[in-house]
Amino acid sequence: MTGDVERYLVVGALLFVLGALGFITRRNLIVLMLSAEMMLHGVSLTLVAFSRVHHNLEGQAFTIFMLTVAACEAGLALALTLALYQKSNSLDIELWTDLREADLPPPMLADDAKQPPFVPPGPMSFPQLTPAGHAPDIRRAIESGLVDDAGSPTDESPTESPKPSDVIKTANRY
């Protein structure tokens, strides 16, 4: 299998198979549509390779029509995805398995109903900070003159101590 064109065909087949694999296994509606678009990429690569083999432009013209249909499909699919998201508040494809034929057995659901969601290490799991220290006492800081009424620290010591009613009013503001 040594040929100038066969290797492009092999790359096209690999892209098609990877897209099919993603379409079968993934459950996010958006990733499903992306996988379908990648299958279209594999097919268009194959068509362009055939156009080169036959040395005419039918394959390239056909690929342009594939591009058109893919754009239509993406627009419609994204509108459908938004509609489904607004109905179920989730992008999970398995929420819609009730749409299958009535005489079919239930599909093989992933066993995530009884287990807690798996949170992977990495940038998607946010760190949980341990609460430390205690909240600062603003009233005492104002009484001792370390901060003024606006909350910023004063650089000179106060000439007169504020009246207690002012202090209470300021503390209530916080």
Partner 1 sequence: MPRAVVRPKAVGLLLSLAGTALLGWRVDDFSSSIEESVMFWLFAATAIVSAILMITNRNPVYSALWFAVVTLSVCGLFLLQFAPFLAAATIVVYAGAIVVTFVFVIMLAQQSGATTYDQRSRQPLVATIAAFVLLATIVGTLQYASESSRGSSNLEEGRPQVAAADAANPFSQVAANESLGHMRALGRSLFGDYLFAVELAGTLLLVATIGAIAIAPRRRRGTL
Does 49 engage in binding with partner 1 (CB under 8 A)?
A: yes
**CA-closest candidate to residue 86, choices 23, 36, 29, 37:** 29
- Residue 131 C-beta: closest distance to partner 1, Å: 21
**1-20 binders of partner 1 (CB under 8 A):** 1-4, 6-11, 13-20
CA distance 12 to 25: 20
Does 99 engage in binding with partner 1 (CB under 8 A)?
A: no
- Residue 31 C-beta: closest distance to partner 1, Å: 5
Chain centre distance of CA 96: 20
- Residues 73-92, one symbol each (x = binds partner 1 by CB under 8 A, - = not), give xxxx-xxxxxx-xx--xxxx
Does 168 engage in binding with partner 1 (CB under 8 A)?
A: no
CA distance 45 to 39: 10
Does 43 engage in binding with partner 1 (CB under 8 A)?
A: no
- Residue 102 C-beta: closest distance to partner 1, Å: 22
CA distance 148 to 170: 10
N- to C-terminal Cα separation, the chain: 78
* Residue span binding partner 1 (CB under 8 A) among the ranges 45-53, 132-140, 141-149, 153-161: 45-53
Chain centre distance of CA 18: 20
- Residue 100 C-beta: closest distance to partner 1, Å: 14
Per DSSP, 106 falls in state: P
